[in-house]
Amino acid sequence: MAEEEEKTNIFDVESAASLVKDLRKSFGSGKTKSYEWRVQQLKSIIKMIDENEEDIVEALRLDLSKPQLESFVSEISMTKSACGVALKELKHWMKPEKAKTSITTFPSSAEIVSEPLGVVLIISAWNYPFLLSLDPVIGAIAAGNAVVLKPSEISPATSSLLAKFVEKYLDSSAIRVVEGAVPETSALLEQKWDKILYTGNGRVGRIVMAAAAKHLTPVILELGGKSPVVVDSNINLKVATRRIVAGKWGCNNGQACIAPDYIITTESNAPKLIDAFKCTLEEFFGKDPLESKDLSRVVNSNHFARLEKLLDEDKVSGKIVLGGQRDKTHLKIAPTILLDVPEDSLIMNEEIFGPLLPIVTVDKVEDSFDIIRSRSKPLAAYLFTNDKKLEKEFVSSISAGGMLINDTVLHLAVNTLPFGGVGESGTGSYHGKFSFDAFSHKKGVLYRSFLGDASARYPPYTPRKQSLLRALLNGDIFGVIRALIGWSKGPTRIENKNN
């Protein structure tokens, strides 16, 4: 009996196909396109958060040992903010945009209509399991789509919480959560979707893109990479290190796609920078950071082993200048700074995604640009400087998903900026209006009446019609007038002999 029940609960390709069929039927009814439905769902998300904040914080603690304040600031508050922006701006976003027309279609008017894509799939990440699940869902709902959310199985408490509360608070005929691991994700990827958004690593990103290609499904890939921090000399090192520490260890203990991955500074500035880090880290996390309640743990034993491998490589283990303590039982690694690790080391060739931070030194700060450009384009790039010329050169010569000058990670919270990668750090973007656009098709519509039907566009194509059409298409107003009054410029052309 138990075996039969287990079989019925298996989510396979057939189950996924049935789910998509049901959602397409719901979308086809037109319910998700209405302004009222979208608003109701967005308000329900806010209600869900308000009524269950303690449960959300507890799920994040179970999954990642996230400090309560960090859970509120970076997951709960940002999710509610995304909902608030969508509710405030939705009418404006849905309104057709007027577009200019040309003389060739005169008289006419035109507009760009935003229409929902249909049924979309969102595969979220484990490091910010609440925010990165619901933030894109908010955009998909605002755009009027039916949605399937696949939370990460690596954060099981939050995944279970989302499955429970989404079903309770939102319209389950159009918004569903599918829990599970690789088999369930694979079953979902076998289906035809109207768009897929995946947040995670490049390896899985390639699998998602390959699956989407079978159905010509467009994708948004929010990946990661090695986000650099260039630190100039003659800056306020106390403020700079506080902001770097907040963006590295204060954001899920380095387990964030936009966390600083490595620092580049001059050889002469490195000792002063390391001293500033020592003071800041002790101020924030105490003399024994493994005992700090303000640091998240490493998500699981596999990731802990991966980070140990980076630290224990022969050419790296002797480069630790600060930290390095570990507690395997509680999956804790102290904030760790390394100086001048070799370029060919694992830690300099893999996204770290943890509490380790290498410092690379150069002769002059401008040399840092060549190091960054020699690597894959990062999701984020940071610069600390008072030099406006250096700042301008950094913005113009470094390609990255996003940038921030004199701080880290805060650009994520600005809803008027697109958030997304470039090259191997991802494709496509979302946040704010960009989320609405990401899940919408921009449909161009031209309106004409039965008036102004010019015979020049129809056969037979006489020389006079040809002159008129040429002038129209070239935007030559005087040529149009000449063609209309029958006056030809210059010597008579050969074709006029047959006129």
Active site residues: 222, 257
Sheet holding 219-222, edge to edge: 175-177, 146-150, 119-123, 195-199, 219-222, 426-427
Q: How far is CA 167 from the centre of its chain?
A: 25
d(CA 204, CA 187): 15
Map residue 181 onto helix, strand or coil.
coil
Structure tokens belonging to residue 422: 């470039």
Please give the sequence-ordered ranges of beta strands (E in DSSP) within 183-280, or none if there are none.
195-199, 219-222, 228-231, 262-266
**299-320: b (≥16 Cβ within 10 Å) or e:** beeebbebbeebbeeeebeebb
Residue 87 CB partners (closer than 8 Å, separation 6+): 39, 42, 43
Alpha carbons within 13 A on the beta-carbon side of 78: 22
DSSP 358-398: EEEEESSGGGHHHHHHTSPPPSEEEEE-S-HHHHHHHHHH-
Three-state SS across 51-65?
Answer: HCHHHHHHHHHHHHC
Helix then strand count (H, E) for the chain reads 19, 20
Please give the sequence-ordered ranges of beta strands (E in DSSP) within 217-266, or none if there are none.
219-222, 228-231, 262-266
Q: Using CA atoms in the order 476, 480, 485, 489, what is the torsion angle rounded to 10 degrees?
A: 40
CB atoms within 10 A of CB 473: 12
Rg of the chain's alpha carbons, rounded to an integer?
Answer: 28
Phi, psi of 461 (to 5 degrees): -90, 85
Cis-peptide, bond into residue 183, ω within 30° of zero = no
